[in-house]
Structures are given as structure tokens and as C-alpha cells.
Chains A and B, each alone.
Chain A
Amino acid sequence: MNARHTVPPLALAAAVAALGATAIGIAVATAASQNPTNAQPGATSSWTQAKTPWGDPDLQGVWRYEATIPLERPARFEGRESLTDEEVKESQRRENEQAEQRLAGAEGAAVGRRSVAESPIRGNEYNSFWQDHGRPRQVYRQTSLVIDPKDGRLPYTPDAKKAEARATARYGVGPYESYLDPDTGERCLTDGVTALMWQGPNGGHNRIVQSPGYVTILHEEYLDRRIIPTDGRGHGSIRQWFGDAVGKWEGSTFVVDTINFIDRTNYEWASVFTRPSETLHIVERFTRTGADSMEYRITVQDPTTFEKPWTAVIPISRLSDATQIYEYACHEGNYAMTNLLAGGRADAAKRSR
């Protein structure tokens, strides 16, 4: 996982600066959340899948990714799909300690790193105020969200790998010559279909509301929204940022098939999630595993970017019923865009002197 997936700095800062609603809201919501489950997914044995009044499996509630698992397997775990008992215990101890430090207001702790120096982004302190990790993050045995391929790494094509490296090198560095240069998050557009589900600290609350024939996901981030029909209709032909999604129930699993993405991101540094190519095909599978736990499994196929399909298994947690989704007025308060462009001009003037 690239740092930018968890820390897009400018737009979010703008949103919170504009309203304060997100930051305040999350603080309230997570304080109300109870009983962090540090257990493995699977949870309670007495749990049974509830149904909606019209008979669909009930996935409703506010969900959020709270685990520590990186998207791709870090080098230090090469060849290992699972952590040992001792590693889980030690990692959870650190997470709990860090949560305490966050509550105590320790510098660096707020951004989910042990110190400011560990952060990959300059100006980290500036970013930290809108980030919210809530309760201690949960440690799972999984060493990467990617479970297929077996090495836990995204199977980029050589060209896509180079593009990804260039993008990473440029992130937070610029140059920023126009509004087309920041990434889609900083432009208050989106962070992309799947990333919204597992960007925990960035206002990563997602409310699922069901109605007959539809599952609707309201993402707090960017006010993004997916209205997924489950009435058996086929794909439409219109390309969109969020593609064209159709859903169906397979037993208790909600399966979403999405194609017809459009690439209007303009910039190379957009990640695979925010720069969907027109050949992208995502299949998502939502399966509740307990009262407060869900397995979110995505299979991504895109010959333009990947040599073969890959699959990630992402545990997400249900927050307490008191948790609300708040208004994420990103574009309405994107003062950061103006400031970023002013900074770009100042940089250009300095270079030309």
C-alpha cells in the first residue's frame, strides 16, 4: 500500500478546515464505539445472519476498515502468509500503546505512525488533525490484504510498475502547475471504488442501507455513493468514475460486478484505485462473518495494469448503532487547492530566478 492511499493530505484538510464536521463527527462516533474486537475474523459463534423484512441478508450499519494489514506484503514477511501468535500479541500491544498515545495527544501518533519521522509525507503534523484512528487498530494474522497471488504482491505489468514508481516519487512533491496536477482526492473527486472501503483513518466510514432491489453504500469520504441494483438487470453502457455496478446475492454473500469505468483522472500518479482504466473489472464480495465483522473480498482484473487478476481479503468492522455518517463537504471547502496553486506559482518563480 502506498502511503498516499492512507494520507491524501490536502483535500481532506480542506474539508475539515471548511466544516469541522468530519473531524468532530468521527470523534463522537468512535468514542461511542465499543468493544474493540482484537480477535481474528469469524467472531462470535452464536451469531446468525439477520434478514431484512423483504428477505435479503441484512448488511446494514456503518462499516470501517480498522485493521493493520498492508495491501501488499512487506519484504520482512516474504514467504509468510501469517503472523505467529507472538507477533500478533506484540503488534497488538504496540497498537494499544499507540492508541493511548493518540489519546494523550503525542506527536506523530495521530497519523498512525510511531513518530513524525516515520511518516512518508512532509508536513505530517498539518495532516494529522483530520485523521482519526479511533480505537486501537486490530491486528490480524494476515500479512497482506492481497492473498492471491501467493506472494501478496500486486502483479503489475512492467509499464504499470514504472508508472506507479513515478507516481509515488512525485506524490506530495509536485510540480503543481494547474488544478489537473493534484490527485483525484486532492481535487475532491474520489479515491476510487474499493479504496473507499478500506481507508480507515480518512473518514473511512461507510453506511450500507438496503431497500428492495438495491444496496446503497454511502461513503463518508468525498460524499461518494454507490446505488447497486440487485434486481437482475444487466450492465448499462455508460462509463462513469464509479463504473457500472450490478449486484446479486449468493447465499448470504453480496456480490457486486463492476465494469465500464472511465479514466478522467488526468494524472499518472493516480493509483490503480483512482485511475481505473477502461478495461478494469472488479468483483466485490461482502460476507458478514459476525455481528460486527464482515469479509470484504475484491478480485481485480485489468489487463492494462496487471498481468493477471488479483484478490484481496479485507476484514471490516461494524461500528455501534450510534455512529453517523457526516457531511464531507470537500469541494465546497477546498481552500487547499487555491493554496497549492499559489505554492506552485511561488516555486516556479523561485526556479526562474
Chain B
Amino acid sequence: MRSSVVGVVVAVATLTVATACISRSGSNSSQAFQPARTSDGKPDLNGIWQALNTANFDIQAHAARPALAMMPAAPRSGVAGLVRATHVELPHPSVRLLGAVGGVPAGESVVEGGEIPYQPWAVAKKKENAEHWLERDPEIKCYMPGVPRATYMPFPFQILQGTDKIVMAYEFAGASRTIHLDKVPDSPAPTWMGWSRGRWDGDSLVVEVTDFNEETWFDRAGNFHSDQLHVTERYTPTSADHLLYEATIEDSKVFTRPWKIRMPLYRRLESGNKLLEYKCVEFVEELMYGQLGVVDPATGQKNK
């Protein structure tokens, strides 16, 4: 008797898990899940969301390593006859004091198929970017993160869904985007966060993002784009507390074909949760300007 009850429970549970797996397995999952609606009948995407992955370190698959900035170890000298078998890299002195805090966690690729279809010249540029990460990554200088990177920074963002405008408010650097659901003219100039036009496609919010400058990156690994970047984002509710985020990347100056990233976004469920300030401009002033003035505030000494 008892064992048959357990059997039924297990069977139901298995079925539930199987159904859940199916419903989360692709962008068609919205057919299975009926999202809450706003008062004008659109899927309700309001809330504070966050990616939980390592894409901001590297959107491609990557092993764990000791630091973001590395340098080759000095050639070994000493014990005669000992030959080092492999090339060794160590944390760069500028980040060494962080120890394990400064390490890079491993992560799977968020790029569909794993490969980014760079043109040959761009492969070299990406490698160079990675080698000069400390000087080049715009995140270090608190510059606006661009799209899609803003979505998977290790900070929450809030969707505020108005009727003909949707605000996407990012905690990092206080960056914001207005998604225009109504008709608007073209952007008059290139931008960091792009010019976003949105539409509803079934239960998905689809956003065409254009008019980028070439200053932003995709991650801390030096993945980059040009001012021809065109991002098509798709936000699809897959449960009350999950969105599927997909972004198709097109840039004929840098890539040989369009490519795509995808990841779940998770609702921040803490009660009374709110987006807080991360006005990081003041955090980077010493780095950017400390040695340019008459006096360096960090040392109190006159600059040379």
C-alpha cells in the first residue's frame, strides 16, 4: 500500500520535472506558460531581474583562472636539468593582492554553438583586447556597459513597463534605456546604450537596438563590436520568476554572420527590493585623474 503511494508520487514528480524541462527548453516555452498581464493586456515583465552566470567574465566557455589580468611567469632558473613542461601565467601585480577574491570562476558559453564568428582580423583584435584588459575594458572606467552586456553584469536591473515606453534601469553606472514601443525618429548620434525600439511578438518583448558607438564590449574577455552593431533582443517570460533572454548580434564589420546568446534571467524576490545607486564615476576618479592634478588625493603629495 505504502509503496504504491510512493510510486504514484514519484511518477507524478517525474512527470512534473519532465514537463518543466520541456517548458524551459526553448523560446517556444511561452506556449506552455501563461504570463501575468498588465492592465492593457500585455505580458507583465515588471520587476527586478538579474542574470546568474559568468557571461560578464567571458561569454564563451572558460576555465577558472587566478585573475583577470595575468602575466607570464619568469623563466625558471635554478635546479639544473629541470625543464618546465608548460607555460605558466601568474596574476598581474596590479591585481595580485586580491588573492582568491580576484579569481575568475569557470563558466559555460552563453553563445549558441559556442563560437563567435569573427572575421580573421577581428580574432587578432579580440586577443589583443584580452591582453590589454586592464587598460581597455570600459567597465573598469565606469563607462556605460552597452547592450547586451548591461543585461548580464553582476548587478540587478529593473523593468518598468509603461504603456508606450518601457524603462530598463540598470544598477551599474546608473545606466538606463528607454524602449520605445511608439514610433520615434532615428537617433541623431551614435550612443553607448543604443537606440531601442520595441514590439510585442506573442508573449515576447522584442527590441531592436541600433545606433551604437564602438566603445563597448561584450565581456571582460575583450569580445567587441563596431559601430555597425545591431542587436535584436527577445525577452520571453518562462515562469512567474524567470525570463528567457536571447540576443542576436549582427555586425558586418566584425563578424562573418549573425550569432546569438541566450540565458535565463531571474527575478529578485527579496521583499521591498529596490534598485540602489551604483554611481561608480566617483569610484574611478582616482584611477583616471589622480596623477593628473597638482596634488594626488591618494597620497597628498604633489604629482611629478
Contacts and interface: CB of A to CB of B under 8 A. Distances in A.
Interface of A: 19-21, 24-25, 28, 52-54, 60, 175-181, 187-190, 207, 209-214, 216, 218, 223-225, 227, 229, 233, 236, 238, 240-242, 264, 322, 324-327, 329, 331-332, 337-338, 341-342, 344-345, 348
Given A179-B290, A337-B289, A53 B38 contact: yes
Interface in B266-283: 272, 274-277, 279, 281-282
A227 B289 contact: no
A102 B115 CA distance: 55
Interface SS, A side: loop
Nearest to B182: A321
Contacts of A209: 160, 162, 165-167, 178
Nearest to A21: B189
A218 B288 CA distance: 27
B117 interface: no
Given A60-B162, A178-B296, A322 B46 contact: no
Contacts of A329: 144, 191-192
B136 to A, nearest CB: 14
Interface of B: 38-40, 46, 142-144, 158, 160-163, 165-167, 169, 174-176, 178, 184-185, 187-193, 215, 272, 274-277, 279, 281-282, 285-286, 288-290, 292-297, 303
A189 B178 contact: no
A342 B292 CA distance: 7
A345 B297 CA distance: 14
A338 B292 CA distance: 7
B189 A187 contact: no
A218 B188 contact: no
A188 B189 contact: no
B254 to A, nearest CB: 21
Q: Of A181, A188, A227, A337, which is in contact with the most chain B CB atoms at under 10 Å from its CB?
A: A227
A87 to B, nearest CB: 39
Contacts of B282: 187, 189, 264
B7 to A, nearest CB: 45
Closest 5 CB pairs of A and B: A178-B293, A21-B189, A179-B289, A53-B39, A177-B294
A240 B277 contact: yes
B144 A24 contact: no
A179 B144 contact: no
B191 A327 contact: yes
Nearest to A225: B176
Contacts of A324: 184-185
Contacts of B276: 238, 240
Contacts of B274: 227, 229, 236
A178 B279 contact: no
Contacts of B39: 53-54, 212
Nearest to B289: A179
Nearest to B286: A179
Nearest to B163: A53
Contacts of B188: 21, 24-25, 28, 326
Contacts of A21: 187-191
Nearest to B177: A327
26 contacts: A19-B189, A19-B190, A20-B189, A21-B187, A21-B189, A25-B189, A53-B38, A177-B293, A178-B295, A179-B293, A189-B279, A189-B282, A209-B165, A209-B178, A211-B167, A227-B158, A227-B169, A233-B272, A240-B276, A242-B277, A324-B184, A332-B143, A332-B144, A332-B215, A341-B294, A345-B294
A324 B175 CA distance: 16
Contacts of A187: 281-282, 285
Contacts of A238: 276
A25 B169 CA distance: 21
Contacts of A342: 292
Contacts of B175: 223
Contacts of A322: 184-185
Nearest to B161: A211
B167 A341 contact: no
A331 B192 contact: no
Contacts of A24: 188-189
Contacts of A180: 285, 297
Contacts of B184: 322, 324
A11 to B, nearest CB: 10
Contacts of A213: 46
Given A19-B189, A53-B38, A187-B282, A176 B160 contact: no
A223 B142 CA distance: 13
A236 B289 contact: no
A212 B40 CA distance: 12
Contacts of B297: 178-180
A227 B160 contact: yes
A223 B274 CA distance: 18
A21 to B, nearest CB: 4
B143 A52 contact: no
Given A24-B189, A53-B163, A227-B158, 12 more contacts: A21-B190, A28-B185, A53-B40, A54-B38, A178-B290, A178-B296, A218-B178, A223-B144, A227-B160, A236-B272, A326-B187, A329-B191
A41 to B, nearest CB: 26
A10 to B, nearest CB: 13
